[in-house]
Structure 1
Amino acid sequence: MTASSLSEHDIKLIDRYWRAANYLSVGQIYLMDNPLLREPLRPEHIKPRLLGHWGTTPGLNFIYAHLNRVIRQRDLDMIYICGPGHGGPGMVANTWLEGSYSDIYPQVSQDAQGMKKLFRQFSFPGGIPSHAAPETPGSINEGGELGYSLAHAFGAVFDNPSLIAACVIGDGEAETGPLASSWHGIKFLNTVRDGAVLPILHLNGYKIANPTILGRASDEDLFQLFRGYGYDPLLVSGHEPEQMHRDMAQALDSALDQIANFQQQARSHQATDRLPRWPIILLRSPKGWTGPQTVDGKKVEDFWRAHQVPVSSCRENDEHRQILQRWMRSYQPENLFDEHGQLKAELRSLAPVGDKRMGASPWANGGRLRRELMTPALQSYAVEVISPGETQAESTAALGDYLAGIFRENADNFRLFGPDETASNRLSKVFDVTSRTWLAAQKPWDEQLAPDGRVMEILSEHQCQGWLEGYLLTGRHGLFNCYEAFIHIVDSMFNQHAKWLKVTRKLPWRAPISSLNYLLSSHVWRQDHNGYSHQDPGFIDHVANKKADIVRIYLPPDANTLLCVADHCLKTWDRINVIVAGKQPSPQWLTLDDAVKHCAAGMGVWYWAGTVEEGETPDVVMACAGDVPTIETLAAVDLLREHLPALRIQVVNVVDLMALQTRDQHPHGLSEQVFDALFTADKPVIFAFHGYPGLIHRLTYQRNNHRNFHVHGFREEGTTTTPFDMTVLNELDRFHLAQEAILRVPSLQGKTDEFLDVLQEKIAAHHRYVREYGEDLPEVQNWKWPSQQGSDAAPE
């Protein structure tokens, strides 16, 4: 490490600033009054419930104080990403010290009265969480769940050449799966167009009640591990503050010199290696550093007992209260704060100013930087539909062409993320415009790999999600495409982002960010070849649990509706949009103009497919949501029209799944009048659904006609088989749907036994045929919607 220019005077100032942050952190956990200890602590000064986490906090405060120095000295644009779980006391303390907290929350002023409010609100009813949350200035990482900090850091610096993301990773957090794969982010970091990530692995040795794996590793093993990942490790280790301050300053100066040198060489075209060995700081400091060494004769500092509340009975136990008082006074608050409770002037001068403060950085409030996405006109990408069902096309291939247009118009504001599935999901047209991002070694025969590629592929759904979240949270746009069954891997990450968005809706200072958009393809009904492990549509059930104003679920039946839905979703903000669309050649139903109207309505009657005119009352409603359910519904309607021409059928297609809910449940919910016009108030509804049937019942249970909804969907029956056999196994096929319609219409009872037998024989014939020939019946493979049925009316 290079020698730091830090003087003894500088070290003392930084140490005092660090002590001020530690003092405020302890006060937040324990106190509700007497914030400056100007009188002896009494029971009523202590919170009745002691909540929070001390163990990681002094290390976080130590790092923050040193980052402040380098920001000021080097005029850096830097954000602080707090990985260790409940590091909230430190983040709140430091943003209060630098003034960004009081800028946002003026009632928590930078004086004794504000300090009292700062303490009281922490982990208190009506207050703030104990972790780095949306309410915390400077945060883009929800600290309530571990593992996502480093992925967020890389996502934040993509296409942000001036930004440095200082990411503190706890050694407990480093044991999580998402974090363990995050180290590879440097292989996707372009030194010319991207910023830099400075990982700081905080090794304090313990989790809640156990040692950490990396905390117990030797320095040599850690150096070998991170050199293997491609980093240049810098070690700061110890207990004695003065030497630790000096070593940390040297490590930071060395790391930032390396980063500046790499960027200068690359941006002046003098670099000899496009994948430099980026620095990482390994910081070993005691758990609960500067806190009580023992309590009740048991070791606390540098042990897991420091993890949460080291002294637990301060209200009831005089001895514990004295320990707390000695602990807080050890920071010498009179040497840190003046008579008004304000941080002393010489310490205030240590913090950056304005937007350079990490709590005020615009990159940590990405909506401030958000630019609108430039989107091309849909007409250039529409699939021509002369008559319903006549054209065959791959819906996601059309979307890929449209995304290529977005790449052309957004050079630094949009990226596509996915786990090695861009081509598999038929989005390959994007490669006409850009390549996959790749900075590691290449072979002469490699294809579509480039350092400046904008398609982000790594075989880790966690990284795709984390990178995209970091990219969105710092003001940009993106899309995550994934196989439907395996998006479940990020269920918990989806949860955290949804909660983040919900909270930010109530924070006027948080500017809106672009929506998180999922495209789920290779879906359950066309994973016949990969088998049961790939057959699961349940992610949309998980999504539907979240707050109505946050989530949207779309099931476009063909290419033009997919284009309309995607174009809409990419222009939205503060939402999570889930689009499920198949990639196989399939019938195309709607022209672009009709698709625009259909998607705007969310659902509608396809009069061209049914046997009733507008305003007439049907005998049965055949409803569908999803591309394969739409095909099977129309094929069932074709059978019913042929064999029961007098049956009055109304066909309803649903694109916007959440519109099934009532208006008071979801903003997209249809009015009762419109819903009843679609589904009637008392007629049977045979609903072919892409996912698990129970979700439709959940969404419609308050509707007038819910008792007559008979839903067919995935019933957890799967295997390696043919596409149509997948529908038969789950009774989503045309034959079962036609049978259901007949059995549910009262006027048909006892009059259609012969036709029911015909349908049952078709099911049996199918069963025999696929098991003999390994493919679907010719009448299934070759079925088309009869063109003459759809020639008299527009699709909507």
Structure 2
Amino acid sequence: MREATTTPATTPAPVGTLTDQELRGLDAHWRAANYLAVGQIYLMGNPLLREPLRREHVKPRLLGHWGTSPGLNLVHTHLNRVIRARDLDALCVWGPGHGGPAVLANSWLEGTYAETYPDVGRDAAGMERLFRQFSFPGGVPSHVAPETPGSIHEGGELGYSLSHAYGAAFDNPDLLVACVIGDGEAETGPLAASWHSNKFLDPVHDGAVLPILHLNGYKIANPAVLARLPEQELDDLLRGYGHEPLHVTGDDPLTVHRAMAAALDTALDRIAVVQRAARRESATGRPRWPVIVLRTPKGWTGPAEVDGLPVEGTWRAHQVPLAGVRDNPEHLEQLEAWLRSYRPEELFDERGRPRPEVLACVPEGTRRLGASPHANGGLLLRELPLPPLERFAVPVDKPGASLHEPTRVLGELLANVMEATRERRDFRLVGPDETASNRLQAVYRATGKAWQAEVLPVDEHLDRQGRVMEILSEHTCQGWLEGYLLTGRHGLFSCYEAFVHIVDSMVNQHVKWLRVTRRLPWRRPIASLNYLLTSHVWRQDHNGFSHQDPGFIDHILNKSPEAVRVYLPPDANTLLSVAEHVLRSRDYVNVVVAGKQPCFDWLSLEQARAHCARGAGTWAWAGTEDGTREPDAVLACAGDVPTQEVLAAAQLLRRHLPGLTLRVVNVVDLARLLPTEEHPHGMPDREYDALFTTDKPVIFAYHGYPWLIHRLAYRRAGHANLHVRGYKEIGTTTTPFDMVVRNDLDRYRLVMDVIDRVPGLAVRATGVRQAMEDARTRHHTWIREHGTDLPEVADWTWGA
């Protein structure tokens, strides 16, 4: 048996010593939590073992994960002690996958579970419900989920715990965020990048993050990399990340309790020294923050052997160590012995309530980890102070007479929001090194870029107290912002469109989280997760094929309709209107795709607001309808470049085919194309049919992959007449207009599509169609000779 040890501090700090009574209380609490964790995995009856265990007391399907649970119970128990002793405001992010039994057990012990779910009281009947509901039909998941009080992180979402923890700590100066990192999770790329978050944590205005690296040796079936490193090599790695490690190692419970208590006291004392130096003594050096390395056996205190094979301390303890309990009498006997080894009669009274010694370490009220308002961020959320949009709107006397860069205009609004939240500090802008590239640099007038590392004279806008967060890790940006939002603040994620795919799996989990929390009345709504995707597919002509991918929209619109929204504002004022809406919204994932290059101004602010409120509508000034007959064709568009091409096509049709009646429809809110039964923003059939007609050709120029529009509208009466042009995965380094030509989204192709699809027009307009073909050929020749777009394209303006 290894001795439990604590690595001496580099700078000695006072460490408290546990009294015998405290030690007994901590051990009692830990044993109670372990008992409850095992009970959840196995039992559906006889929760206190008041009678011999029989097969009917055991669940027919055994689901859950035991291996990580005793280590998590140890951490929870000891966090309780320091929170109570130091009156800390604390939150814990539980990273190890499927650690649900432990966190649920501790929530039940501290009383927050019964307060949240009164039918699962702190007594024998409540314990039986706690056990039965776990991984059971109609019950709760096996991981730390939205249903778990005190959680902001989906257990099993491996790789993101540490970035979530830092997001929670930013602008929360009085908050301690403990973060348990499993040794499997520690192998992921996102987790490896998130260790650098300490270079962005301001000891003055931010809280503290205490990582607890839990190395129990194994993942599902393989050894964990960090657990097999020599201690010195692991220390060198952690010190290289900017941390000072404290080791707690062992398998004897009492010595581990003493070592864990000492490590936590040392870590918290060091954190206090760092914060005091920064806040009272104006220290500016980057501190070395503590990290605890906790090494305990996987499946600690569980069966040592099963069927002659070692289990405790091996990968076999990962899930259900005794799998055949209902059919194997030896397994049933082992399970009963395992449960009784915790001595439940010492832990729970005759009514099944935890005894006072078990609860001696538990904090009170909102100091309990399961009751922290930071884990239910809507309780702390304040309305974002958004200024009147009139201060930022661009003047539009007539459509297409001027140009602006939409995201630069948005940047002025965001700068005002940054200024308005200077004191309250509850808004952050995150992105992977692209704030200025995306034309949002106006925010630097109000705040700089968060940075705690070395600053050179050539650097610009770096600020120890900055609220613009840039790191070239989309995973870390996403994790920071999710943690920030889930703890009651606001933010925006700005990213190149093609590379936001890096966080596909993270946004999946956040959408699932929002969908579940909408059904939990005790979970208060939080600010929406807002994406601004720019530097988009149609203006990545200079960076080329690798930077051209509009598919994040498809990914998002596959998710829960109640939680996702996609907006494609075609100009600066519609972007302002959409931004105001999404920044005020709650419990959504909003994706806004907008250009950063000069773009024609089509709508005044008043018109933009009305158009965005509709989500889709006709632009009568662009079409040729006079109200006397139905249109011959509908030209529809969604996105800034498709809108320009549609209007250019409409202009060509006016000129060459003046007798043709055209309707121009612009779509800002993509979900409007869905039936109202499929999405809250969807259009009823009668409204859709009135807008797009049921029997006229609809030529739809779309920003992304064309089949998405077909998928959204396939149930509509006029779907057979719908022809969509969009990105066809054809890209390269070329001119801006050549990108749309290569993908058949250009104005000339759209004119040809109208001619081909309006009955009888192909014969009458052969010459016009041939002229359009010739223009495309002329384009190909011109760009290869001159390297720029045709003058008639580059110098094009709208004029009715």
Please give the residue correspondences for 1:77-156 in structure 2 after superposition, counting only pairs within 5 Å.
77-156=89-168
Whether the 8 Å CA contact 1:679–1:685 is kept in 2: the answer is yes
Residue 360 of structure 1 corresponds to which residue in structure 2? 371
1:249 aligns with 2:261: yes
Report the Cα offset of residue 673 of structure 1: 2.6
Query: What runs of 5+ residues in structure 2 fail to find an aligned partner?
Result: 1-7, 9-13
1:455 aligns with 2:479: no
Instruction: Provide closer, same or farther for how the CA distance between residues 714 and 138 of structure 1 changes in structure 2, counting only shifts above 3 A.
Output: same
1:157 aligns with 2:153: no
Residue 322 of structure 1 corresponds to which residue in structure 2? 333
Q: In the aligned structure 2, how far is the partner of 1:363 from the partner of 1:318?
A: 46
Q: In the aligned structure 1, how far is the partner of 2:685 from the partner of 2:445?
A: 47
1:310 aligns with 2:321: yes
| More off after superposition, 425-434 vs 95-104 | 425-434
Q: In the aligned structure 2, how far is the partner of 1:616 from the partner of 1:63?
A: 73
Report the Cα offset of residue 614 of structure 1: 4.6
Please give the residue correspondences for 1:277-356 in structure 2 after superposition, counting only pairs within 5 Å.
277-356=288-367
Partner of 2:570, secondary structure, is: coil
Report the Cα offset of residue 615 of structure 1: 6.6
Please give the residue correspondences for 1:32-51 in structure 2 after superposition, counting only pairs within 5 Å.
32-51=44-63
Partner of 1:214, secondary structure, is: helix
1:559 aligns with 2:572: yes
- State the one-letter code of the partner of 1:390: A
Report the Cα offset of residue 747 of structure 1: 3.0
Please give the residue correspondences for 1:356-395 in structure 2 after superposition, counting only pairs within 5 Å.
356-395=367-406
1:741 aligns with 2:754: yes
Report the Cα offset of residue 63 of structure 1: 0.5
Q: In the aligned structure 2, how far is the partner of 1:712 from the partner of 1:311?
A: 58
Partner of 1:346, secondary structure, is: coil
- 1:384-434 deviations in whole A, cap 9, x for unaligned? 112111101101000001100111111211000000000000101111111
Q: In the aligned structure 2, how far is the partner of 1:392 from the partner of 1:80?
A: 49
- State the one-letter code of the partner of 1:45: H
Q: In the aligned structure 1, how far is the partner of 2:505 from the partner of 2:632?
A: 44
Residue 634 of structure 1 corresponds to which residue in structure 2? 647
Residue 582 of structure 1 corresponds to which residue in structure 2? 595
- State the one-letter code of the partner of 1:157: A
- 1:122-150 deviations in whole A, cap 9, x for unaligned? 00000000000000000000113211111
Report the Cα offset of residue 672 of structure 1: 2.4
Instruction: Provide closer, same or farther for how the CA distance between residues 614 and 82 of structure 1 changes in structure 2, counting only shifts above 3 A.
Output: farther
1:543 aligns with 2:556: yes
Whether the 8 Å CA contact 2:498–2:536 is kept in 1: the answer is yes
Determine which of 603, 609, 619 is the counterpart of 2:622: 609
1:645 aligns with 2:658: yes
Please give the residue correspondences for 1:422-501 in structure 2 after superposition, counting only pairs within 5 Å.
422-501=435-514
Q: In the aligned structure 2, how far is the partner of 1:586 from the partner of 1:119?
A: 60
Please give the residue correspondences for 1:698-713 in structure 2 after superposition, counting only pairs within 5 Å.
698-713=711-726
Partner of 2:348, secondary structure, is: coil
Whether the 8 Å CA contact 2:32–2:358 is kept in 1: the answer is no
Instruction: Provide closer, same or farther for how the CA distance between residues 400 and 313 of structure 1 changes in structure 2, counting only shifts above 3 A.
Output: same
Residue 680 of structure 2 corresponds to which residue in structure 1? 667
Partner of 1:124, secondary structure, is: coil
Residue 11 of structure 2 corresponds to which residue in structure 1? none
Query: What runs of 5+ residues in structure 1 fail to find an aligned partner?
Result: 790-796
Q: In the aligned structure 2, how far is the partner of 1:54 from the partner of 1:307?
A: 6
Whether the 8 Å CA contact 1:693–1:714 is kept in 2: the answer is yes
Q: In the aligned structure 1, how far is the partner of 2:345 from the partner of 2:628?
A: 81
Residue 200 of structure 1 corresponds to which residue in structure 2? 212
Q: Percent identity?
A: 62
Q: In the aligned structure 2, how far is the partner of 1:410 from the partner of 1:665?
A: 38
Q: In the aligned structure 2, how far is the partner of 1:393 from the partner of 1:105?
A: 54
Partner of 2:126, secondary structure, is: helix
- State the one-letter code of the partner of 1:263: Q
TM-score using structure 1 length: 0.98
Partner of 2:236, secondary structure, is: helix
- 1:35-65 deviations in whole A, cap 9, x for unaligned? 1111111111111110000000000000100
Residue 793 of structure 1 corresponds to which residue in structure 2? none
Whether the 8 Å CA contact 1:607–1:614 is kept in 2: the answer is no
Whether the 8 Å CA contact 1:686–1:737 is kept in 2: the answer is yes
Determine which of 692, 700, 705 is the counterpart of 1:692: 705
Q: In the aligned structure 2, how far is the partner of 1:145 from the partner of 1:3?
A: 35
TM-score using structure 2 length: 0.97
Whether the 8 Å CA contact 1:396–1:581 is kept in 2: the answer is yes
Q: In the aligned structure 2, how far is the partner of 1:416 from the partner of 1:474?
A: 16
Partner of 1:86, secondary structure, is: coil
Determine which of 514, 517, 522 is the counterpart of 2:527: 514
Q: In the aligned structure 2, how far is the partner of 1:291 from the partner of 1:271?
A: 50
Q: In the aligned structure 2, how far is the partner of 1:613 from the partner of 1:241?
A: 84
1:261 aligns with 2:273: yes
Partner of 1:376, secondary structure, is: coil
1:569 aligns with 2:585: no
Report the Cα offset of residue 271 of structure 1: 4.3
Q: In the aligned structure 2, how far is the partner of 1:274 from the partner of 1:499?
A: 40
Q: In the aligned structure 2, how far is the partner of 1:323 from the partner of 1:303?
A: 18
Instruction: Provide closer, same or farther for how the CA distance between residues 615 and 140 of structure 1 changes in structure 2, counting only shifts above 3 A.
Output: farther
1:728 aligns with 2:714: no
- State the one-letter code of the partner of 1:677: A
Report the Cα offset of residue 272 of structure 1: 3.2
Whether the 8 Å CA contact 2:95–2:156 is kept in 1: the answer is no
Instruction: Provide closer, same or farther for how the CA distance between residues 281 and 641 of structure 1 changes in structure 2, counting only shifts above 3 A.
Output: same
- 1:718-755 deviations in whole A, cap 9, x for unaligned? 11111111101110000111100110000313111111
Q: In the aligned structure 2, how far is the partner of 1:265 from the partner of 1:738?
A: 69
Report the Cα offset of residue 616 of structure 1: 3.9
Q: In the aligned structure 1, how far is the partner of 2:357 from the partner of 2:99?
A: 26
Whether the 8 Å CA contact 1:191–1:274 is kept in 2: the answer is no
- State the one-letter code of the partner of 2:142: S
Whether the 8 Å CA contact 1:188–1:437 is kept in 2: the answer is yes
Whether the 8 Å CA contact 1:190–1:274 is kept in 2: the answer is no
Q: In the aligned structure 2, how far is the partner of 1:328 from the partner of 1:273?
A: 52
4+ aligned runs moved over 4 Å, structure 1: none
1:60 aligns with 2:72: yes
Residue 33 of structure 2 corresponds to which residue in structure 1? 21
